[in-house]
Amino acid sequence: MRVHGLDCSSTSVSGRGCPYFDPEYDTLSLRLDPPSVVIDNTSCPDATLIKVDSKNKHGILLEVVQVLTDLDLAISKAYISSDGGWFMDVFHVTDQLGNKLIDEGIIDYIQQSLGAKQDSQTTEVQTCLGRRFSLRSNTEQTAIELCGRDRPGLLSDISGVLKDMMCNVVAAEVWTHNLRVACVVYVTDEVTGGPIEDEKKLAVIKARLSQALQGDESGKGSKTDIPMAVLHTERRLHQIMSADFAAIQPESTNTFVAAADKTRPAISVQNCAEKGYSVVNVRCKDRPKLLFDTVCTLTDMKYVVFHAAIRSEGSFAYQEYYIRLMDGCTLKSEAEQEYVVKCLEAAIERRTGGGIRLELCTKDRVGLLSDVTRIFRENGLSVTRADVSTQGDKAVNVFYVTDASGNPVDRRIVEATRKEIGQSILQVKDLTPSSPNSQHEVASKSRFSFGTFLYSLGLINSQQV
């Protein structure tokens, strides 16, 4: 049978009789009606406006926010609407130094990443913080995922195992929260310089890392996995810790935050019954990648953001989301609302590991991470968060450290550690760097509520604003 010139009786290449679908069909709608991405540097004196119009699909908001935050951009304000078949949003952004976007490579990269520019040649850019970011996924490394109970010296043990197994750590990211740890490590084979392909070696690595994670009888809920690929490290870390959170349910999690405690996230969930939305309000200290963390959590919990308003005022961020589940339902039960509050609070806090920030930059070599973290452990330093990367032949690593009890570290110990590693190699940075939004006052001073905006359009009544 032939329909419009297509032979519907043709079989797949495998010969199993499955209908053949042209792979070009998946991108047909994108090519016929590509997203519109406008970079506007004239409308706002203090920020670049990025306007995105596209056909709506689940997760598109996260895709956009992910692209912007991966480029080390600060989002000071955003208006999002996707109630229907079309997605429209506006982001007010600067780089982390408070400047507008003038780098043509960055602008081209944004348009290419969001599908608005199909013929672009930009595949790698350098952010204002000096990080290089590539549009192409790197398949020349082996990814390892770990999750379990945190303890002093754990990162040293993990990196020690990898060193013994002749693995070179190319990149890694470590998060800790509520005495739990999640880690994604990218390694190469020391001999071949490529991914580890020996299945027996992979099995031994997995077994030894699992043993290091368990440590003692307190290794409840530990998990080691070697996936085929990790599409986005930070999203994967959120997923790992969210799954671990659901399984372990730490007793130390504080569900409801007192209004007087302005250092903790204040999160509330209410139902807008008239229009069938659940309204999530978040107030917390502003910081880079905050919007990514909350949008990522809602998306992976299968909630759809129909409307949202985001703003920064001074050092605080305010976020308001109008959401439903993918099946159209709202958060009806108190237990469900409480769980969303817990998950959002955890997502906000898990990236902000306390401690002194130490930055290491030196020539990369096999075993470097193992040697550095061993010295940390020998000096009583515990790593609460780490970002390990390789740029060319340089290792560029960031560590947040406390003492073994989680308390601030004596500066004399820090200086002794620096002396042992190399004072020119290991630098001490400010513990809580100021947000670029507070430095440059990118955000508008007016207090905007999306609820007020919807009320002005007659979509909700005044009691719900």
pLDDT in tens, the chain (465 residues): 433 333 444 433 344 444 444 444 444 444 446 789 999 999 999 999 999 998 888 899 999 999 999 999 999 999 999 877 888 999 999 998 899 999 999 999 998 888 766 665 656 788 887 777 766 556 689 999 999 999 999 999 999 999 999 999 999 999 999 999 999 999 999 999 999 999 999 999 999 999 999 875 555 678 999 998 888 999 999 999 999 988 866 444 443 333 445 578 999 999 987 888 999 999 999 999 999 999 999 999 999 999 999 999 989 999 999 999 988 899 889 999 999 999 999 999 998 868 899 999 999 999 999 999 999 999 999 999 999 999 889 999 999 999 998 899 999 999 999 999 999 999 998 554 333 343 333 333 334 444 444 443 344 443 343
pLDDT score of 33: 62
Radius of gyration, CA atoms only, the chain: 24
Predicted confidence (pLDDT) per residue in 184-234, tens digit? 999 999 999 999 999 999 999 999 999 999 875 555 678 999 998 888 999
DSSP-derived pairing of the beta strands 48-55 and 277-285: unpaired
Sign of CA dihedral 391, 136, 50, 173: negative
323 burial level (CB within 10 Å; 0-12, 13-18, 19+): buried
For residue 91, give the H/E element and its range: strand 86-95
CB atoms under 10 Å from CB of 393, counted, come to 9
pLDDT of residue 440: 38
Burial of 66 (0-12, 13-18, 19+ CB in 10 A): buried
User: Which residues, 6+ apart, have CB-to-CB distance to 74 below 8 Å?
Assistant: 93, 94, 95, 96, 98, 288, 435, 436, 437, 442
**Which pair of structure tokens corresponds to residue 447?**
């207090």
Report the alpha-carbon distance of residue 408 to residue 334 in Å, rounded: 38
Torsion sign (Cα): 114, 175, 368, 418: positive
Q: What is the C-alpha separation between 344 and 269, in angstroms, rounded?
A: 11
Beta strands in 246-379 (DSSP E): 266-272, 277-285, 303-313, 316-325, 356-363
Dihedral pair phi/psi, residue 58, rounded to 5°: -65, 130
Helices and strands in the chain, H and E counts:
12, 20
For CA atoms 435, 439, 441, 447, the dihedral sign is: positive
Of 310, 265, 315, 284, the C-alpha closest to 435 is 315
> What is the C-alpha separation between 386 and 124, in angstroms, rounded?
24
Distance of CA 97 to the CA centre of its chain: 20
Query: What is the per-residue pLDDT for 31?
Result: 46
Distance in angstroms (rounded) separating the CA atoms of residues 66 and 231: 12
CATH architecture of the domain covering 142-251+353-429: 2-Layer Sandwich (3.30)
Sign of CA dihedral 319, 350, 267, 433: negative
Measured in whole angstroms, the distance separating CA 172 from the mean position of its chain's CA atoms is: 13
pLDDT at site 118: 60
> What pairing do the DSSP bridges indicate for beta strands 132-134 and 124-126?
antiparallel
What confidence score (pLDDT) does residue 27 get? Answer: 44
Question: Would you kindly state where each structural domain of the chain is located, as residue ranges?
Answer: 33-129+269-351, 142-251+353-429
What pLDDT does residue 221 have? 74
Closest Cα partner for 330 from 356, 350, 304?
304
DSSP code for 23: G
- Residue 123 · residue 133 · CB < 8 Å: no
Could you tell me the maximum CA-CA distance found in the chain, to the nearest angstrom?
81
Rounded to a whole number of angstroms, the distance between the first and last alpha carbons of the chain is 58
Residue entry with tokens 């010969």: 15
For the chain, give the mean pLDDT: 82
